[in-house]
Amino acid sequence: MVVLALTILVGAVSVLSLGVLLWVICKHFWIEHIPEGITHPMRLRFLSCFLHLSMTWGMIFEKLGLCYAAQFASFLHDLKPLKKDPDVVVTDIHFGTVPVKLYKPKEPSSTPRTGIIFFHGGGSILGSLRTHHNICLRLAKDCDSVVASVGYRKSPMYKYPVMKEDCETATVHFLRSLHVYGVDPARVVVCGDSIGGHAATVVCQEVMNRKDLPKFRAQVLIYSLLQSIDFQSPSYQQNDNIPLLSWNLAFYCWCCHLDINSSWKSVIKNGKHLPPEVWEKYRKWLGSEHIPERFKKRGYQPVPPGPVNEDAYEEIKFILNATCSPLIAEDDIVSQLPETCIVSCEYDLIRDHSLLYKKRLEDLGVPVTWHHMEDGFHGVLNTFDIRFLSFPCSSRIMDVVIQFIKKL
């Protein structure tokens, strides 16, 4: 009897697993689009299906009350073994209460090294010290630098501003301890990808005027999330269904991180969450007229904001804070920022964030090095050095970032 029950259970689980897999694959081919400009489309299809499969199973477990969907997905993503390099010493430590992976070249140096504070991406719900290990390992080795990779607390378990606070806490701790790690106070770089780039930007703006801390030498922003206000720019219209960051996933992450009711989805996408005077105030920085025309050729139709939904505005007006949308920080803040390296990707939902921030920095006299990946998509850097799933674009991003840092 027990054997029969176990057989039925195993059969039911197998059927359910197969059903979930087929549903994810069919959904991917039905909804998501991979442009011809992206190389190795089958690799991207595999990565997209794996992402959605992990999130789908996570949703099932969340409904059963076992864990958050993102927690299960993160667990799966963290299963890959960590690469070792005989030339780099990796240490797990804490800056205060914040876990950090510290990467330091094994060979002693007669002079202080460059320091890099790195914040990983993942939409605030995914990503970890493990998923970005290979990236930090390469930065430490090729830049002959000390890299502090910050393991901030993630959503949906922890909401805004917990991530910001963890990143700032770790940054201050590192800047106060540079002598301990053999870092030159005049050569500290803050770096991040996706929402990690958001964290890097916010931290840079928040601590730059503190008299008790060294100044950052530069910031490196890789397809960074820089505003949470306008969702109708050209890149949102062109890339809303491209892996690995579709509009639906981005909005889910946004709601998890900022603790916003997902029922406002259509209101927010159509620009009805803010009153006309707010749109007019920030048009000087967010308006599509500030985006070069060549980035509108794949299709763009300006959408005038609809009448404001007052209830939505009351709930989400805090997004106008510069810690949520660092792209709209005041000129006296942005003008003091250090030299910046910006990497953008053509097939990225939030591509235009980078283009708009680049213009703001340049208009205010901040030196900017910009690299645009014509075949790039959001999240491509995470494929760096993972064998058959790597994309040439990920190596090019690493190369330009390393060259930028080495020249500082």
Cα distance between residue 276 and residue 308, in whole Å? 8
Catalytic residue among 132, 133, 371, 378: 378
Q: Which of 123, 378, 351 is nearest to 244 (CA)?
A: 378
User: Domain residues of the chain, as ranges?
Assistant: 18-77, 87-408
- With tokens 């780099």, the residue in question is 88
The fold for domain 87-408 equals: Rossmann fold (3.40.50)
**Is residue 194 annotated as part of the catalytic site, yes or no?**
yes
pLDDT recorded at residue 400: 98
Positions in the chain short of pLDDT 50: 9
CA–CA separation, 336 and 232 (whole Å): 29
Query: Is 348 one of the catalytic residues?
Result: yes
Active-site residue among 348, 352, 353, 371?
Answer: 348
What's the distance, CA 70 to chain centroid?
15
**At 184, which helix (H) or strand (E)?**
strand 183-193
Per-residue pLDDT at 80:
84
Catalytic residue among 194, 246, 354, 394: 194
First to last CA, the chain: 72
Structure confidence at residue 8 (pLDDT): 53
DSSP state for residue 126 in the 8-state scheme:
S
